[in-house]
């Protein structure tokens, strides 16, 4: 059995835009552009970047909740993009999601026990009696009581609802869980509880997480490796230790400088980078060269002409002509 659980190669996602006029050429919004990464068993890969960078679209395309345009996604050696709908339905038991908003992720008309049980019923896992036992076991696993199974979502706090979402994601014993900013809608104290729960479950069950977040403090706490995304591409890919200690891409350095939870100014030898201003280019009209060149304080003529390639020593690859 290989150590790599998920291997994504050249993944691209584009969305057709309305025509400006009849018979005009079709334009496309390029949400994800030739993204490649791998995730090892029992580890957590963080996808970070500002809003609109393509983090969530990348993760959802990797598990076929969004239709990719091109590329390959190997899960345990099997290309998910080549599976038939029925084959993909059976593979769903190994691929689960924890969504961002615990208030809208749960059906308000169903009791929470039925919500957690639903994946078991849909995929016909086990007998009816064993499913009931499994739901009770999951409630205990995430810190809820079995007698709460008969309650409705509105009777729970935000943190408790996210625990229910986690229990639902665990129901089918998945190998991979996509965590789509699972703590961003919660209070800070509750965030810490949920993050500790996710880490404990990973240690106990051997889970692998694809973790989407804009909070670099959360990423530093939970993730083993980090992929920094900008305008649909990975601009830096490194281990957690390397990325936070020695960021090499100007965009990564700007993200770290703007994260108040990291308190980088208190660290020895800290020097603030030049301020990054302006907005990212339009994903409909991608400029030539480096997409970050228009905002980068160190951009040169080469940056505006030639797109950099993600490369570098093992453990810290960067897409930049002049990396730090």
Q: What is the length of the chain?
A: 324
Cα–Cα distance between 85 and 62 in angstroms, integer? 15
pLDDT tens per residue across span 201-222: 999 999 999 999 988 989 999 9
pLDDT at 276: 72
Cα–Cα distance between 230 and 232 in angstroms, integer? 6
Burial class (CB in 10 A: 0-12, 13-18, 19+), 255: buried
Cα–Cα distance between 94 and 110 in angstroms, integer? 24
Name the pTM for this structure: 0.91
**Structure token pair of residue 190:** 């509750």
pLDDT at 305: 93
pLDDT at 265: 47
Residue 46, CB half-sphere, CA atoms under 13 Å: how many?
26
Cα–Cα distance between 17 and 203 in angstroms, integer? 44
**Structure token pair of residue 316:** 């810290």
pLDDT at 273: 57
Rounded (5°) CA angle 54-56-57: 65
137 contacts 189 by C-beta, under 8 angstroms? no
Q: Which strands form 44-48's sheet, in the order they lie side by side? A: 95-98, 176-180, 208-212, 44-48, 225-230, 233-239, 316-318
pLDDT tens per residue across span 189-204: 899 999 999 999 999 9
Per-position pLDDT tens, the chain of length 324? 578 999 999 999 999 998 888 888 889 999 999 999 999 999 999 999 998 899 999 999 999 999 999 999 999 999 999 999 999 999 999 999 999 988 899 999 999 999 999 999 999 899 999 999 999 999 999 999 999 999 999 999 999 999 999 999 999 999 999 999 999 888 888 999 999 999 999 999 999 999 999 889 899 999 999 999 999 999 999 999 999 999 999 999 999 988 766 655 445 555 555 567 778 888 998 989 999 998 888 889 999 999 999 998 767 899 999 997
Say which CATH class 4-18+26-244 falls into. alpha beta
pLDDT at 24: 86
pLDDT at 298: 85
Per the DSSP assignment, residues forming a β-bridge with 178 are 97, 210
């Amino acid at each position: 059995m290989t150590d790599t659980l998920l291997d994504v190669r050249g993944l691209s996602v584009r969305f057709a835009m309305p025509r400006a006029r009849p018979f005009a050429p079709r334009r496309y919004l390029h949400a994800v552009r030739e993204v490649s990464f791998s995730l090892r068993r029992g580890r957590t890969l963080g996808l970070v970047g500002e809003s609109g960078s393509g983090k969530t679209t990348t993760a959802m395309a990797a598990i076929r909740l969004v239709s990719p345009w091109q590329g390959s996604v190997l899960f345990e050696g099997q290309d998910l993009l080549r599976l038939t709908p029925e084959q993909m339905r059976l593979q769903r038991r190994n691929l689960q999601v924890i969504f961002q908003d615990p208030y809208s992720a749960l059906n308000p008309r169903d009791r929470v026990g039925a919500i957690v049980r639903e994946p078991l019923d849909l995929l016909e896992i086990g007998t009816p009696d064993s499913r009931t036992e499994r739901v009770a076991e999951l409630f205990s696993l995430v810190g809820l009581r079995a007698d709460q199974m008969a309650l409705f979502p509105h009777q729970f706090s935000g943190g408790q609802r996210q625990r229910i979402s986690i229990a639902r994601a665990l129901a089918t014993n998945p190998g991979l869980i996509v965590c789509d900013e699972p703590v961003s809608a919660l209070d800070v104290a509750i965030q810490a509880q949920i993050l500790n729960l996710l880490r404990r479950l990973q240690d106990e069950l051997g889970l692998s997480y694809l973790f989407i977040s804009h909070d670099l403090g959360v990423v530093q706490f939970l993730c083993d490796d980090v992929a920094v995304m900008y305008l649909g591409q990975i601009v830096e890919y490194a281990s957690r230790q390397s990325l936070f200690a020695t960021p090499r891409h100007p965009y990564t350095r700007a993200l770290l400088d703007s994260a108040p939870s990291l308190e980088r100014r208190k660290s020895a030898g800290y020097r603030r980078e030049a301020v990054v201003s302006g907005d990212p280019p339009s994903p409909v009209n991608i400029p030539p060269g480096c997409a970050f060149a228009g905002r980068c304080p160190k951009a040169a003529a080469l940056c505006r002409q030639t797109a950099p390639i993600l490369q570098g020593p093992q453990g810290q690859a960067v897409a930049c002509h002049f990396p730090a």
